[in-house]
Amino acid sequence: MAEYKLTTPLTDDDIVKLKAGDVVFLSGIIYSARDAAHKKLFELLDAGKELPFDLAGSAIYYVGPSPAPPGRPIGAAGPTTSYRMDTYAPRLHALGMKASIGKGKRSDEVKAAMKEHTGVYFGATGGAGALLSNSITKSTVIAFDELGPEAVREMHVEDFPLLVINDSHGGELYAVPDREAAGIK
């Protein structure tokens, strides 16, 4: 396992060097979007309209943060379960998204899209939303304010701690090892 410091927007060169199990400290701008926001983003795409942010090189964090306490840009910002966005992720990868951030496993379709379009899936530590929020220096709602915590946010991050779960080569941290080869009975 290796450790990397990356900055958005992400490039193919950034992504291809990553392997499942690597640690990444991500800086730059990431966008929040959960189920309801993804539905609205796809309504815009289907209508031929522009999205509220550029997908090229983007990272989307599946998060619905809690309200910001006084003096902080955001409240607790822990990941939500990613499979709920699996119907949307392949198309977003095809349109330029380079990374998604969440928790849990991804579908075979998402993994295939990451291989085809040089993408990566990062895991953020579930249950550590307050700790993760320390890496978010600015958070601004940029679309769908009516969705409350599920609105799309532009978030500035510094050394946001992530783990590569699925890489662009088909590697998966959650893959079940060959039990016999691993000496597991």
Which amino acids are annotated catalytic?
A: 38
**Residue type for position 166:** N
Name the phi and psi angles at 74, rounded to 5.
-160, 155
CB 21 within 8 A of CB 164: yes
CB 42 within 8 A of CB 88: yes
Say which residue the tokens 């496993």 belong to: 105
Q: DSSP letters of 53-80?
A: S--TT-EEE-B-PPPPPTT-S-S--PBP
Contacts of 184 (CB under 8 A, 6+ apart): 177
Q: Which two tokens stand for residue 105?
A: 């496993």
Separation between Cα atoms, residue 182 and residue 177, nearest integer Å: 7
Give the number of other Cβ atoms within 10 Å of residue 148's Cβ. 11
Q: Which two tokens stand for residue 86?
A: 């699996």
